[in-house]
Structure 1
Amino acid sequence: MSFECDYNYIPAHHQLSILIDLSASHEVDHHVLLRGSGIFLEDILSGQKLISQQQLQQVLRNAELCFRNQDISFLFGQRSLTTPFNNAIKSMLYASTLNEALNRYLIFFASVSPWLYPRVIYNQNQIHIYWLDENKFENRFLIESAMSSLQAFSRQLYQAKLPWKYEFNFSEPDYIEQYWTHLGNDLEFNRPMNMMSLPCDFIHKQLPNASSTLAAICHQHALQQTTSQNIQQSFLLRLYQYLMQNIQNNIQLEQTAEYFQMSSASLKRKLKKHQTHFQAQLDQSRLHTAIILYRVHGFKTEQISQYLKINDATNFRRAFKRWSGLTVQSAQS
Structure 2
Amino acid sequence: MTRARVRLGDLSVGFVQPLGDALLALGHDPRPLLLRYGLDEKRLTEPGARLSIPRYMHLGHAAIALCGEPGLGLHMGRLSRLAQAGLAGVTAAQAPTLGEAARTLLRFEPLYAANYRGQSSFHEDGQGAWLRFYSISPYNHYNRFVVDSLLAGWLAQLGALAGRPVQAERLEIEFDAPDYAEQYQSLCNGPVQFAAGGNQLRLDAATLALANPQHCPSTWQHLLQLCEAELAQRTRVRGLGERIVHLLGPLLNGGREPDLEEVAQHLHLPTWTLRRKLAEEGTRFRDLLNDTRRDLAEAYIRDTELAFGEIAYLLGFASAEAFQRAFKRWSGLTPGEYRRRQRLAG
The TM tier, using the shorter chain, reads 0.5 to 0.7
Partner of 1:224: 229
Structure 1 distance, partners of 2:245, 2:98, is 26
Is the counterpart of residue 266 in structure 1 residue 291 in structure 2? yes
Identity of aligned residues (%): 16
Partner of 2:130: 128
Partner of 2:247: 238
Amino acid at match of 1:145: S
Count of equivalent residues: 275
Kindly state the Cα deviation for residue 268 of structure 1 after the two structures are TM-superposed: 0.8
Is the counterpart of residue 143 in structure 1 residue 150 in structure 2? no
Kindly state the Cα deviation for residue 157 of structure 1 after the two structures are TM-superposed: 2.4
Kindly state the Cα deviation for residue 147 of structure 1 after the two structures are TM-superposed: 0.8
Distance of aligned partners of 1:6 and 1:207 in 2 relative to their CA distance in 1, 3 Å threshold: same
Kindly state the Cα deviation for residue 152 of structure 1 after the two structures are TM-superposed: 0.8
Partner of 2:179: 174
TM-score w.r.t. the length of structure 2 is 0.63
Structure 1 distance, partners of 2:259, 2:94, is 44
Partner of 1:329: none
- Aligned equivalent of 1:161, options 152, 162, 165: 165
Kindly state the Cα deviation for residue 43 of structure 1 after the two structures are TM-superposed: 4.2
Is the counterpart of residue 96 in structure 1 residue 96 in structure 2? yes
Partner of 2:200: 195
Secondary structure of 1:19's aligned partner: helix
CA contact (8 A) 1:69 1:174 kept: no
Partner of 1:109: 109
TM-score w.r.t. the length of structure 1 is 0.65
Secondary structure of 2:82's aligned partner: coil
Structure 2 distance, partners of 1:85, 1:160, is 21
**Cα shift readout 1:14-64 (whole Å, capped 9, x = no counterpart):** 2213323433453255443565x5x33254355357234333333234334
Give the unaligned 5+ runs of structure 2.
Answer: 265-274, 279-283, 301-309, 318-346
Higher alpha-carbon Rg: 2
Distance of aligned partners of 1:103 and 1:4 in 2 relative to their CA distance in 1, 3 Å threshold: farther
Give the unaligned 5+ runs of structure 1.
Answer: 245-249, 284-333
Structure 2 distance, partners of 1:277, 1:180, is 32
Structure 2 distance, partners of 1:61, 1:133, is 19
CA contact (8 A) 2:248 2:258 kept: no
Kindly state the Cα deviation for residue 73 of structure 1 after the two structures are TM-superposed: 1.3
Secondary structure of 2:123's aligned partner: strand
Amino acid at match of 1:27: H
Aligned pairs (5 A) from 1:9-20: 10-12=11-13, 14-20=14-20
Instruction: Select between 134-143 and 51-60 the one with higher mean Cα deviation.
Output: 51-60
Structure 2 distance, partners of 1:251, 1:48, is 38
Kindly state the Cα deviation for residue 109 of structure 1 after the two structures are TM-superposed: 0.8
Structure 1 distance, partners of 2:107, 2:139, is 27
Secondary structure of 1:60's aligned partner: helix
CA contact (8 A) 1:91 1:219 kept: yes
**Cα shift readout 1:245-287 (whole Å, capped 9, x = no counterpart):** xxxxx9438985977864332021233256386854769xxxx
CA contact (8 A) 2:244 2:263 kept: no
